Amino acid sequence: MLTKAQIIDWVDRIGEKKFRANQIYEWLWQKSAHSFDEMSNLSKSLRDLMDQTFLIRAIKIDKVQKSVDGTIKTRFKLHDGHLIESVLIPVPRDNRYTVCVSTQVGCSLTCKFCATGKMKRVRNLEAAEIYDQVVLVNRQAEEIFDHPLTNIVYMGMGEPLLAYKSMMKSVEHITSPEGLHMSPRRITVSTAGIAKAILRLAEDDVKFNLALSLHAADDEKRNEIMPINESNNLSVLMAAIKEFYRVTKNRISFEYILLQGVNDDIEDAKKLAKLCGHFPVRVNIIEYNPIENAEFVKTAIDKMDAFANYLTDQGVVVTVRRSRGKDIDAACGQLANKE
């Protein structure tokens, strides 16, 4: 992926005027051109030369599924034939239109409640491939709901912090005035818990929000359902997130899927409330969404509410998120490129 400086250098070497580089860069990022022929304010000879010299490896829509609740899942085909999925989650009553983007083809973390975790990790996405998901889903939002995206969550396929360079570069383009110019405060990056990378986020003084996919508030249970915890235990993670908050003051949330008989009793809630005392945090309680070859069961609604109420009584800010798009396998933990 060429930087703007590299485009300027190439334009200079072929004897074109410098402003052409700005036009090319604008076509690639602000206008998201997927072919050189689209660059209509460039000469035909320049477009032909670019076509002979460079490739635009655009992602392409492969399949679109619409849920009864309005959620839209899109499967994209990449230049090498691999597939990824993104989800558009519209909440018109709140004027909120969120895209959930992927950062990897597959995933290496093998979280037991997640369909993507059962896939082999093939590769990290390029920054442009992440960016293109946002661009194309934004077009969907405008065409179908007459409203642009309001929020971006890096919660799709893969672990964003294991695709650190691409993830950061995509955020840079999404927030740049020369890109989509979205506020970083409307972006949330989710992680299963990579402590070193969280500290790196602090060092980079990022402006976006951070979500930790927690799902258990003690190491024994978390080790069982999320093997990454064995090398990134809760003590190490809390120290890293505490440092992240100290440096950035950015919003932090804990994602917590309730699994019947695993992590959903009041003792679990007490441990979770204790973890919430380290720094300001919001807890998002999530329904479990069934996946193939997993024996978990969704916690009953009344027990879910009791869990949430306990946390609220302890002064924790809690949101109970009802699943969206589960009839098309678009809900949390269900993305797996199914037919």
DSSP state of 63: E
- Per 3-state DSSP, what percentage of the chain is helix, strand, and coil (rounded to 5)? 40, 20, 40
Q: Report, in angstroms and rounded to the nearest whole number, the Rg of the chain calculated over CA atoms.
A: 21
Give the bridge partners for 77, in sequence order.
Answer: 60, 83
Which long-range contacts does 3-9 make (Cβ < 8 Å, 24+ apart)? 4/178
Exposed e or buried b per residue across 274-298, where buried means at least 16 C-beta atoms within 10 angstroms of its C-beta: ebbeeeebbbbbbbbbbbeebebeb
User: What does the alpha-carbon distance between residue 171 and residue 238 come to, in Å, rounded to a whole number?
Assistant: 24
DSSP state of 332: T
Q: Is 142 a catalytic residue?
A: no
Q: Identify the H or E element spanning 134.
A: helix 127-145
Residue among 145, 135, 230 nearest 182 (CA)? 135
CB atoms within 10 A of CB 22: 15
Q: Which of 111, 114, 276, 332 is catalytic?
A: 332
Q: Which of 26, 85, 267, 339 is catalytic?
A: 85
How many Å separate Cα 16 from the centre of its chain?
39
Residue among 206, 218, 128 nearest 161 (CA)? 206
Helices 195-203 and 234-248 sit at what angle, rounded to 10 degrees?
A: 10
The type of residue at 194 is I
User: What does the alpha-carbon distance between residue 85 and residue 63 come to, in Å, rounded to a whole number?
Assistant: 9
The length of the chain in residues reads 339
Q: Is 332 a catalytic residue?
A: yes
Give catalytic residues, as residue numbers: 85, 332
